[in-house]
Chains A and B, each alone.
Chain A
């Protein structure tokens, strides 16, 4: 299950072994795919949360700590619904390799929910 590919309800597929080609011009990396799926207006918030759990789980299983750190530190995280940020924090809590990125995102989350 989900060892090298994620399918979400929109049908978007992420294959970490063979990155998706963007119009044949350049590779799209996992970070871009992650945010494109989350900013997709068609999917429900619940399905987006599922996507966050499964996408990050795949990254963890494949030890893609660089991708995980980039996602957690990406400023666009602050524009997501707080439930999505929380899902990302739950999934990445306790991973020593990305402690710094985790702490930064935790700070972002606490700032957001203060006014929510």
Chain B
């Protein structure tokens, strides 16, 4: 079982970076990225395209979060990623976008060659809290998961994707077009990925760990 915030902070005083997440319901875990650098202990988490807060880890909401240190992230990049995250949260970075094929995330990073994100409509489609964490780390050439090992969403278990498709008013007749372009990446996978034996984390092992965590959280 991963430690909750207070236990984690008591045992991890050194500067570093971690994935953190809170159990929501069913198999849903909301995740974010925590850093301890320069006297700051902050969390950034993607709520939606217009709301990507950076908050002190001491905030009451984070007491229920589980933490998992990313041990192999280059520590010398902490000043950059903490600055970058804060600027994104403050909406001061114009035109950050995900490398995507069409409206879908393809495992890439934030790029700045045009201002496509400024509109904040299409680009955040299918970007969830987990994808945001992956993309933020990918921007620093750090791969949390082995993207190619990840399966597409299973059309028989589409609850989370259906929610997004409905939210963005995608006609039901067009839903199958998205099934083969969306990876089955969930917050639960991101939260456990630093604990896998191989890095970047491959799907099979990550999924197994995620299911074990869920069974502990929701026995």
The reply to whether A90 and B84 form a contact with Cβ atoms under 8 Å apart is yes
The reply to whether B112 and A57 form a contact with Cβ atoms under 8 Å apart is yes
The reply to whether B86 and A50 form a contact with Cβ atoms under 8 Å apart is yes
The reply to whether B84 and A49 form a contact with Cβ atoms under 8 Å apart is yes
From B2-10, B17-25, B70-78, give the one contacting chain A.
B70-78
- B140 nearest in chain A by CB position: A86
Residues of A within 8 A of B179 (CB): none
In Å, the complex CA distance between A1 and B93 comes to: 10
Given contacts A53-B84, A61-B94, A94-B113, contact A45 B139 (CB under 8 A): no
In Å, the complex CA distance between A67 and B74 comes to: 29
* Selected contact of B83 from candidates A49, A57, A82, CB within 8 Å: A49
Residues of B within 8 A of A44 (CB): 38, 79
Residue of B37, B40, B80, B87 with most partner-chain A CB within 10 A: B80
Residues of A within 8 A of B78 (CB): 83
The reply to whether A86 and B77 form a contact with Cβ atoms under 8 Å apart is yes
Given contacts A44-B38, A54-B92, contact A60 B80 (CB under 8 A): no
The size bracket of the interface on B is 20 to 34
In Å, the complex CA distance between A94 and B110 comes to: 11
Residues of B within 8 A of A50 (CB): 83, 86-87
The reply to whether A57 and B93 form a contact with Cβ atoms under 8 Å apart is yes
The reply to whether B80 and A87 form a contact with Cβ atoms under 8 Å apart is yes
The reply to whether B113 and A95 form a contact with Cβ atoms under 8 Å apart is yes
**Chain B, interface SS category:** mixed
Residues of B within 8 A of A94 (CB): 111-113
- A54 nearest in chain B by CB position: B92
Q: Provide the B85-103 mask, 1 if CB < 8 A to any CB of A, else 0.
A: 0110000111000000000
**Chain A, interface SS category:** helix
In Å, the complex CA distance between A115 and B139 comes to: 21
Residue of B38, B84, B93 with most partner-chain A CB within 10 A: B84
- B74 nearest in chain A by CB position: A113
The reply to whether A84 and B80 form a contact with Cβ atoms under 8 Å apart is yes
- A56 nearest in chain B by CB position: B112
In Å, the complex CA distance between A54 and B139 comes to: 17
The reply to whether A53 and B76 form a contact with Cβ atoms under 8 Å apart is no
Partner-B contacts on A (CB < 8 A): 1-2, 44-50, 53-54, 57, 60-61, 81-84, 86-87, 90-96, 113, 116
Q: Can you add 8 more A-B contacts, CB < 8 Å, to A50-B83, A53-B84, A83-B77?
A: A46-B37, A46-B83, A53-B93, A61-B94, A83-B79, A86-B140, A87-B84, A90-B140
Partner-A contacts on B (CB < 8 A): 37-38, 40, 74, 76-80, 82-84, 86-87, 92-94, 110-113, 139-140
